[in-house]
Structure 1
Amino acid sequence: MFTRDEKLGRVMDVTMLGPRGAGKTSLLVSLYDQFQDVVGATALELSTSDHATRTTLQGYRQELRQFAQGVQRQKGIEGNADVREYLFGLGSRGKRPPQLTLRFTDSPGSLLAETGPMRDLLDAAVSRSAVLFVAIDSPALMERDGRYNDEVNQPELVMEFVRDALAAQGRRLVVFVPLKCEKYVATAAGARELGDQVKKRYASLISYISSLPAGLDGAKAGSVLTPVQTIGSMRFSRFETRADGVREVFRLSQIGGSYAPRDTDQPLRWMLRFVVNAYSHRPKTFGEWFVTWWNNADLPFTQGLRQFGVECKEHDGFEVLVRHPYLELP
């Protein structure tokens, strides 16, 4: 689950899969942007680990704020054709270097059905990832009886990537993340219907995850469902047919709307609940055992992870789809 890097230290890889325009990059920006607001009294800190990540996210943050104010109504962050890595340090507040590096790989949706060097980079990222975020375009899933779901979300191709990842050694967590879902989660009934549609359309993948045989050291994989509102103020309005295909159009939910993401913490909370269990059970060298015994160096970090994981939601559209011991509170 963890790898060692000479510069980054202990690394946990996360790959974001999903179609072009589903909102994968928006999720990443909102997740980082809102972390310090939701971390509460825990002693955790999430920081950018390199200049490229910091600069890129600052630019994307401005694009999201413009979209949230209704400056543009057809997209948030423009997709790109490159596999990009974003590095975040996660550790006890003020500790340098942080105890863990989270390496997020953001994959362009176009690569799901292509070959070539970029696809090779994506395949490598998927194979080493302990956590997979499956981004789902909610309007394509929900509108017109899911008429555009296969075309837009490409669930069969996504399943192939997930199966490849689960074939590798080690435990895995698959997080289904419906995005652009503001319209559907406005009510508890709507949120539950969104969850039901995810379970229906991705039933074969969820069944595959739950059917994996457990090894001698426990279950192979777990899965959770966590819808996220990365903008908050914009809701799906309609599909618009153009020469280049069908486009999604959004509208402000109220006059004077602004950037107000919600539940961006939930995928991270579930991921870190998984992480704290994995981190506690990780193989340690004699030196690490000695240092931990001598000064309890890991104690504030693991306690912070546990505190952060307490507020994972399991109702009104949020659900554990496939149970795993690492998803239980330690």
Structure 2
Amino acid sequence: MQTFFNVTMLAASGEGKTTFLSSMDENIRNDLSSNIGLNLSLNPELAAKLDQNKERLKASLSKGTITCFDGIQSTADASSYPLEISHKDSDPFLVVSFTDIPGNWITDDSEKVISYLKNSSVIVIPVDASAIMNDLTEQKTNAENLFRVLKPGLEQSSEPRLILFIPTKCETYINNEAASARLVNKIKMVYKEIFDHITWTSHVKSAIIPIQTLGNCSLMYHKKVKIDNEEVWKPIFSVTQRNQYNPQAIEYPYMYLLSFILEQHYLNRKKGFMGFFRNLFRELNYLKLTNEKLNSQCKSYSQLKVIS
């Protein structure tokens, strides 16, 4: 019997939702699989879609600068990527479904977004580090809009939840501990309303895990561009090494959320009459040990900050 866990990507357009998901390529899946001793597989068509997105990211590094019109563009519809987890030569026992929802839905179709959040065990919030560190006014508005959908989405259930803030485009901001601390503090300040709410919500855990989305690039400046008849500030990056796609720390968000999901699966499976016998015969030990292993490895990443 399969158990399903939902992961929803929640952020305004341009924050890096689709870019982050595109990192879940075959290399990452194979690395995670060998790490935890379980098979991780995607539908071939969906895997090909992620690979196409990754090729677009690679292509953006072929010239001297990167603008918001390079790489992956905003999505118009929700996309789901069910990651199947199984033992070797066995059917999947766990399915972790990642859903990438369009950023404009947060304001244009909030009820639909809230519906996704109600059914999500993990909510991933990518944050454009270049925008938040340069005090762009859109970031405060984005945070307020997120809270309007996140609050009712969390209140509908007392089931354990995890909210992961993933600062993207961090190539310029995590070179040392001091820079990383400034980034974390800025996120806490801009998203204060959300963090305050999480503090009073005992069943919700949260963490901040910065990543370098592309590697080999650095922020130059922000420029106003017209998107959908609206002028917005967007970053311009310089490419430090062309044609070298080299994301950094991209595996840690996946490891952290999988650790949480495996822990929840373990706790659910050990409940009740059947759970007693599963514990007695140590059928669930692999879940507990895998969770502990992933959690330990995540702690080795000094930039990861557990908030609650």
**TM-score w.r.t. length of structure 1:** 0.81
User: 1:23 is aligned with what amino acid?
Assistant: G
- Across the two proteins, how many residue pairs are aligned to each other? 299
How far 1:300 sits from its partner (Å)?
Answer: 3.4
Please provide the CA RMSD for this pair. Answer: 2.5
Map 1:118-133; keep pairs closer than 5 Å. 120-133=111-124
**What CA distance in whole angstroms lies between the structure 1 residues aligned with 2:174 and 2:137?**
20
**TM-score w.r.t. length of structure 2:** 0.87
Shift in alpha-carbon separation, 1:302–1:315, aligned structure 2, 3 A: closer
Partner of 1:264: 250
How far 1:120 sits from its partner (Å)?
Answer: 5.0
**What CA distance in whole angstroms lies between the structure 1 residues aligned with 2:65 and 2:40?**
30
User: 1:228 is aligned with what amino acid?
Assistant: I
Q: Deviations over 1:269-314 (max 9, x none)?
A: 22122223211210557667657766x5544344333322211137
Partner of 1:18: 11
Partner of 1:281: 267
The answer to whether 1:46 aligns with 2:40 is yes
Q: What SS does structure 2 have at the residue aligned with 1:231?
A: coil
Partner of 1:87: 82
Q: Which moved more, 1:266-275 or 1:67-76?
A: 67-76
How far 1:21 sits from its partner (Å)?
Answer: 1.2
Seq. identity, %: 22
**What CA distance in whole angstroms lies between the structure 2 residues aligned with 1:60 and 1:140?**
23
**What CA distance in whole angstroms lies between the structure 2 residues aligned with 1:220 and 1:185?**
30
**What CA distance in whole angstroms lies between the structure 1 residues aligned with 2:113 and 2:46?**
18
Partner of 1:238: 221
User: 2:139 is aligned with what amino acid?
Assistant: N
Shift in alpha-carbon separation, 1:72–1:285, aligned structure 2, 3 A: farther
Map 1:134-149; keep pairs closer than 5 Å. 134-143=125-134, 145-149=135-139
The answer to whether 1:226 aligns with 2:209 is yes
How far 1:36 sits from its partner (Å)?
Answer: 2.5
- Whether contact under 8 Å (1:314, 1:320) holds in the other structure is no
Partner of 1:326: none
**What CA distance in whole angstroms lies between the structure 2 residues aligned with 1:82 and 1:17?**
13
Map 1:93-172; keep pairs closer than 5 Å. 94-115=88-109, 120-143=111-134, 145-151=135-141, 154-169=142-157, 170-172=159-161
Unaligned 5+ residue runs, structure 2? none
Q: Which moved more, 1:233-242 or 1:36-45?
A: 36-45
**What CA distance in whole angstroms lies between the structure 1 residues aligned with 2:46 and 2:275?**
30
Partner of 1:195: 184
Partner of 1:215: none
Q: Deviations over 1:194-247 (max 9, x none)?
A: 1110011111210111112xxxxxx31111111111211222221122344233
- Whether contact under 8 Å (1:46, 1:89) holds in the other structure is yes
**What CA distance in whole angstroms lies between the structure 2 residues aligned with 1:168 and 1:71?**
48
